[in-house]
């Protein structure tokens, strides 16, 4: 075979293997546009069909306006009783679709990595020997629709929505469809003390904690999920500040340093700031992470993806890859790696 033909064959092999690799690991999730509720539902369904051997999808329940809140479960079906459940939640705050996109992209890439060593998460299958991963990528579908002024499916609630006090444009909407900030509505024992910087007595696009804990259906559903699966780690994703809110004064000492070690590692690896231990329940109370720490004694972290921009609005959709994905794509698995390493010393905390 002459050298030219050999070169051509080599070239074709290289191209096809590159192409095959690209196809195997190609992302379902679009990187640079606004992530709409309908797109999230479509992507969830696609994933369910493509990865049914390890992924099951259930409806956790329905939002105030009747939209489905899916919960994804990634599990090696081989039964073992001692697997550790972990929970990742996105979109408690309506406008923050970066968080949904991050979790959906992580889910897709993790599932692809289970099938091929050429995708980004090496040894992905080893995590499923130890963990069951639960993912709620769309906690607040009504709020996300309102923030995106996507009235399709919630048109009949439009008048009701228009009567809720709006602080800023619709695109700044943080609350659920009834004007309750979900991350101020969890029953962590300090709900009565909560009085955030933006405090609204009545339903509003942000800053209203509700009249009682668990008033918002969406918060109650996630609280019930936590109570039923007992996650050892809960990561709640938000989208501003490149910061981890990882501890509060009321619960910090009971973790005996596990929370510090775990979050320090993640902050270093992903170049995030660790917030100071929150001091006043008035400021920190009634979030999902607070509920998890106070009521279940497990690790709960609010992860703020992407840098601050001194605006209410999230950073532009076109910057998702640079500001979120490239920086934090390994974050969930760093938590799991570090937790596995530290667990033997702290196992009694989770008895």
| Smallest distance, Zn ion to C-beta of residue 99, A | 8
User: Is the CB of 26 or the CB of 308 nearer to Zn ion?
Assistant: 308
Name which of 209, 211, 217 is nearest 183 in CA terms.
Answer: 209
Q: Which residue carries 């909407």 as its tokens?
A: 173
R_g of the chain, CA atoms, integer Å: 21
| Smallest distance, Zn ion to C-beta of residue 342, A | 28
Name which of 72, 71, 70, 74 is nearest 110 in CA terms.
Answer: 74
User: Is the CB of 180 or the CB of 258 nearer to Zn ion?
Assistant: 180
| Smallest distance, Zn ion to C-beta of residue 96, A | 5
Alpha carbon distance 148, 170 (integer Å)? 7
| Smallest distance, Zn ion to C-beta of residue 241, A | 9
Strands 273-274 and 68-74: unpaired
Alpha carbon distance 250, 290 (integer Å)? 9
User: Is the CB of 104 or the CB of 243 nearer to Zn ion?
Assistant: 243
| Smallest distance, Zn ion to C-beta of residue 100, A | 12
User: Is the CB of 238 or the CB of 329 nearer to Zn ion?
Assistant: 238
| Smallest distance, Zn ion to C-beta of residue 92, A | 7
Q: Is 89 helix (H, G, I), strand (E, B) or coil?
A: strand
Alpha carbon distance 290, 213 (integer Å)? 13
User: Is the CB of 157 or the CB of 240 nearer to Zn ion?
Assistant: 240
- For binding to Zn ion (CB under 5 A), which residues are involved? 93, 238
Q: Which residues pair with 134 in a beta bridge?
A: 73, 87
**Dihedral (C-alpha) 215, 218, 220, 226: value to the nearest 10 degrees?**
-160
User: Is the CB of 259 or the CB of 304 nearer to Zn ion?
Assistant: 304
């Amino acid at each position: 075979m002459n050298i030219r033909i050999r070169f051509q064959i080599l070239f074709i092999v290289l191209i096809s293997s590159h192409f095959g690799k690209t196809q195997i690991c190609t992302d379902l999730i679009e990187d640079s546009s606004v992530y709409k509720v309908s797109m999230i539902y479509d992507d969830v369904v696609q994933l369910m069909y493509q990865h049914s051997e390890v992924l099951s999808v259930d409806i956790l329940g329905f939002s105030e306006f009747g939209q489905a809140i899916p919960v994804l479960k990634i599990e090696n079906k081989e039964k073992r009783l001692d697997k550790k459940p972990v929970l990742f939640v996105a979109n408690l705050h309506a406008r923050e679709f970066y968080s949904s996109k991050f979790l959906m992209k992580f889910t897709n890439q993790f599932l692809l990595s289970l099938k091929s060593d050429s995708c980004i998460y090496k040894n992905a299958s080893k995590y499923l020997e130890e963990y069951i991963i639960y993912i709620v990528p769309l906690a607040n579908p009504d709020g996300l629709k309102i923030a995106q002024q996507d009235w399709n499916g919630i048109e009949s609630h439009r008048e009701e929505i228009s009567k809720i006090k709006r602080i800023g444009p619709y695109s700044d909407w943080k609350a659920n469809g009834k004007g309750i900030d979900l991350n101020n509505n969890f029953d962590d024992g300090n709900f009565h003390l909560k009085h955030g910087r933006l405090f609204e007595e009545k339903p509003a696009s942000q800053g209203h904690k509700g009249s009682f804990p668990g008033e918002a259906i969406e918060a109650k559903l996630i609280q019930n999920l936590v109570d039923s699966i007992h996650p050892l780690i809960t990561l709640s994703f938000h989208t501003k500040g490149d910061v981890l809110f990882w501890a509060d004064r009321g619960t910090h000492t009971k973790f005996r340093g596990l929370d510090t070690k775990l979050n320090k590692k993640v902050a270093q690896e992903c170049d995030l700031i660790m917030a100071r231990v929150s001091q006043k329940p008035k400021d920190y109370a009634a979030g999902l992470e607070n509920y998890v720490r106070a009521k279940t004694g497990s690790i709960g972290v609010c992860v703020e993806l992407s840098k601050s921009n001194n605006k209410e609005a999230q950073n532009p959709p076109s910057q998702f890859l640079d500001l979120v994905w490239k920086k934090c794509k390994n974050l969930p698995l760093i938590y799991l790696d570090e937790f596995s390493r530290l667990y033997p010393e702290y196992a009694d905390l989770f008895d």
